[in-house]
Structure 1
Amino acid sequence: MQHRELGTTGYDVTEVGLGTWNIGSDWGDVTEEEGREAVRAALDAGVDFIDTADVYGDGASERRIAEVLDEEGARDDVTVATKAGRRLDPHEPDGYNHENLERFVDRSRENLGVDSLELLQLHCPPTEVYYRPETFEALEELKDAGKIDHYGVSVEKVEEGLKAIEYDGVETVQIIFNPFRQRPADLFFREALRRRVGVIVRVPLASGLLTGQLSADDEFPEDDHRNYNRDGDAFDVGETFAGVPFETGVRAADALEPAVPDDATLAQFTLRWILSFDAVSAVIPGSTIPDHIRQNVAAADLPEPSAQQHELVHEVYDEHVRDHVHQRW
């Protein structure tokens, strides 16, 4: 698997990384060993970029990653990015101050067993935070103190990403991008390239819709966000099925099937489509099934989508999805 530069961080990371929301919480019942095995499977497949957050399982995801890296002796071979801010209760702009951020950073350093976090990202803060220079000054101070090496942001909206990269210290932006969420490619990608900002793509498979394995009558466990957050009751609805109404997403996924090569799955085609955009540094699908993780990694070796395949993806977006998501995020 090829590597790409992660902005100006100096890290070269695998094109396909591992997102670890699944191994912490909000995706149904996942045992500790299943979580650790997912990390092992990613490492065995060649992945050297892992994304996590302090709220995934209240730190469980961070701790499981640390355990596997230690047992595999892979500390020096893997870049780990984590996120902070969502532990705030209430989750309000005023909470993104130096005191709270340092407290969150110290906890993540302990969970991950490191002196300094390689990449800290603000975890989808309220939009107002991006208009508060003092928050980014606090991040710079934590960097100067040797507690973080680099920092970036994880955003919900294109507007937030564009505002964030006006701050010189922001080296990465994590954003939702997939065939059902195409707006970042309009302007944000162009600006990120111009400023040499690393782009980390999350929710690439739209919570499973873009695997092609879901049907309209599927049901999900009570503790799975695909059950309890369909209307945004717990957090931004764009994190669940990329904000697309479930039944609409199932139909749209079916409409994409003609674009999928004979020797690939819809999930693999989707990941390769995302990687065909030069602005993307890494895509971070999450799974707790080792075979799925290996299939995700293999997607990087598919041929680049043709002009005809890109055209079909845009046609499906325009017909089924655009009205639901384009101006919202």
Structure 2
Amino acid sequence: MKKRRLGKNGPQVSAIGLGCMGMSEFYGKSTYEDSRNTILTALESGVDFLDTADMYGNGENEKLLGKVLKEWSGEAFVATKFGIIRKPGAYERKINGKAEYIKQAAEASLKRLEREVIDLYYLHRMDNDTPIEETIGAMADLVKEGKVRYIGISEASVDTIRRAHSVHPLTAVQSEYSLATRHIEKEILPTLRELGIGFVGYSPLSRGLLTGKLNQDLLKQEGDFRRMLPRLQGENLEHNNKVVRKLINIATRKEITPAQLSLAWVLSRGEDIIPIPGTKRIKYLMENIKAVDVEFDAKELEEIETILADGIKGERYTKSGMLGVEE
């Protein structure tokens, strides 16, 4: 597995990480055995960057990782997040970035993960009622106490990133990034490169859209939150699948899968970018890993840009899902 440095002064981690959210919630049913085997196979294959959050399955995802990592004797770099508060089973949420809450959240995550230190701790979403300086100050205290190694924020604007970084150096900023979601390219990525902050891209396959396998029947499975997303509904999904089919033609010519094309494109945007595709199946994990060896020539990249000029239709989240997201 190829390595990439997470930020100017951060650690080296696998060029592709593993998003673990879907193992506990949001993407239909899963089993402990499948999730366990996928996590261990990822680690055995050199994927040492694992991403979770305290709100995934209301803590169950962190517990899953904690239990599985007890079986692993090698290195694992675990990132988790705090700040989103939900009732079990509900999608609506509140955001809390207050100092006193952060310390409670960190202790709870450490307990569930069964670890003495959190490798990378993110503020999951922005709390408009709490100055970012207060939030980052509390996170910096956790670093001083040896409970957190590196800190980051997720879905933040340029202004928030600069203000946060001035309080304590950010190692990473995480936001959604894929062929279908490119809002970070204009201002956020240049700012991160100026400041020496790494970028972690979640949903690099746009929640399955870019695999070419997403249809209304698949979205009907119990517990799949994607059915409510505007981008994946009705005419929007029909239009977006037409765009994806054109991308699939390029993948077919290169003898790779649509997922590998999409991940390789994200990787091609810079050595400071690390995508974290999520999966609970070994088959797709191994497919994703092979994307690190895919390269594009200038003509292929130009063709991809031409296809994307048709545009992806529909918002990536519902109004509730955009709470705390800054663009």
Q: What TM-score, normalized by structure 2, do the two folds share?
A: 0.86
Distance in 2 of aligned mates of 1:78 and 1:65 = 10
Question: Number of residue pairs matched?
Answer: 312
Change (3 A) 1:57 1:88: closer
Tell me if 1:102 matches 2:87.
no
Distance in 2 of aligned mates of 1:26 and 1:322 = 22
State how 1:43-62 maps to structure 2 within 5 Å. 43-62=43-62
Counterpart in the other structure of 1:234: none
Change (3 A) 1:9 1:67: farther
Match of 2:307 among 304, 316, 321: 316
Check whether the contact 1:11–1:79 (CA below 8 A) recurs between aligned residues.
Answer: no
Tell me if 1:142 matches 2:133.
no
Counterpart in the other structure of 2:275: 283
Per the TM alignment, residue 276 of structure 1 is displaced from its structure 2 partner at its CA by 0.6
What do you get for the CA RMSD once the two structures are aligned? 2.6
Counterpart in the other structure of 1:3: 3
Distance in 2 of aligned mates of 1:282 and 1:61 = 21
Q: What's the CA shift string for 1:166-225, capped at 9, x where partnerless?
A: 554222101111111122122221221121101111000001011112235543323111
Per the TM alignment, residue 272 of structure 1 is displaced from its structure 2 partner at its CA by 0.6
Change (3 A) 1:9 1:245: farther
Distance in 1 of aligned mates of 2:161 and 2:260 = 26
Gaps of 5+ in 1: 232-239
Counterpart in the other structure of 1:235: none
**Secondary structure, counterpart of 2:38 in structure 1:** helix
Point out 4+ residue stretches in structure 1 off by more than 3 angstroms: 88-93, 126-129, 156-168, 215-219, 322-325
Tell me if 1:112 matches 2:113.
yes
Counterpart in the other structure of 1:83: 81
Distance in 2 of aligned mates of 1:20 and 1:72 = 16
- What percentage of residue pairs aligned between the two structures are identical? 27
Distance in 2 of aligned mates of 1:179 and 1:37 = 29
Per the TM alignment, residue 307 of structure 1 is displaced from its structure 2 partner at its CA by 1.7
Gaps of 5+ in 2: 317-325
Distance in 1 of aligned mates of 2:10 and 2:219 = 43
**Secondary structure, counterpart of 1:175 in structure 2:** strand
Counterpart in the other structure of 1:269: 261
Per the TM alignment, residue 316 of structure 1 is displaced from its structure 2 partner at its CA by 2.5
**Secondary structure, counterpart of 1:13 in structure 2:** strand
Distance in 1 of aligned mates of 2:156 and 2:134 = 21
Per the TM alignment, residue 162 of structure 1 is displaced from its structure 2 partner at its CA by 6.0
Check whether the contact 1:53–1:83 (CA below 8 A) recurs between aligned residues.
Answer: yes
Distance in 1 of aligned mates of 2:159 and 2:313 = 17
Check whether the contact 2:178–2:204 (CA below 8 A) recurs between aligned residues.
Answer: yes
Change (3 A) 1:61 1:127: same
Counterpart in the other structure of 2:223: 223
Check whether the contact 2:103–2:142 (CA below 8 A) recurs between aligned residues.
Answer: yes
Higher mean Cα deviation, 211-220 or 147-156?
211-220
Q: What's the CA shift string for 1:266-312, capped at 9, x where partnerless?
A: 10011010001125331100111101101101110112x22222222
Counterpart in the other structure of 1:300: 292
Per the TM alignment, residue 29 of structure 1 is displaced from its structure 2 partner at its CA by 0.9
Per the TM alignment, residue 53 of structure 1 is displaced from its structure 2 partner at its CA by 0.6
Per the TM alignment, residue 56 of structure 1 is displaced from its structure 2 partner at its CA by 1.2
Change (3 A) 1:128 1:5: farther
Check whether the contact 2:14–2:48 (CA below 8 A) recurs between aligned residues.
Answer: yes
Distance in 1 of aligned mates of 2:290 and 2:154 = 26
Distance in 2 of aligned mates of 1:323 and 1:314 = 19
Check whether the contact 1:155–1:161 (CA below 8 A) recurs between aligned residues.
Answer: no
**Secondary structure, counterpart of 2:171 in structure 1:** strand
Counterpart in the other structure of 2:193: 193
Distance in 2 of aligned mates of 1:60 and 1:257 = 36
Per the TM alignment, residue 122 of structure 1 is displaced from its structure 2 partner at its CA by 0.7
